[in-house]
Chain A
């Protein structure tokens, strides 16, 4: 069974530029999560989707971050404009539903110069 797929794996951009990350969850998983992980820290939740509905986006910086999950399958996370402090690894995870264990993708390492 294929795992969670993320792309790109690495991204280097100048500050104030836009950037987008893509995630394809495990087939059949209704719940999708975006996390941000800073060096030496655990992942921090940005947004959680139940099918195509964003049910928890309380930690998403809405002035510059946006996300969508059209058709309740794959998802895109966007940052516009990027700031130096946005440098981190962005992880996508999915689960059968909100009660079950989450399976993570390999992440996208973002460097903002």
Chain B
């Protein structure tokens, strides 16, 4: 059975203080690993898809990396507007997305 574990559950950063969020997974036959951002009262917003170990993708202050067992979302010099819940999901052979519980990020000025 697919499993996705995200850590930490919550993270508080000062503006400009870089950090990383972790997503550990087990899946038989990874088709893709997805990162989403979710603001309160809204649906998840797509950020990245990673398909194979060693792959990296960047968008503004965010950089996602993938190994065979985990993915990291690195946040460089975060701003208060980066505050949100970040969700990781794996897609296995059946194409369904299996989500983790998310990391709630708060960036304070």
Contact = CB atoms under 8 A, between A and B. Distances in A.
Nearest to A101: B46
A105 B44 CA distance: 8
Interface of B: 4, 31-32, 34, 36, 41-46, 49, 87, 89, 94-97, 99-102
Dominant SS at the A interface?
Answer: loop
Nearest to B100: A42
A8 interface: no
A107 interface: yes
A104 B31 contact: no
A48 B87 contact: no
Contact of B95 (A40, A42, A98, A101): A98
B34 A105 contact: no
B42 A106 contact: yes
B91 to A, nearest CB: 8
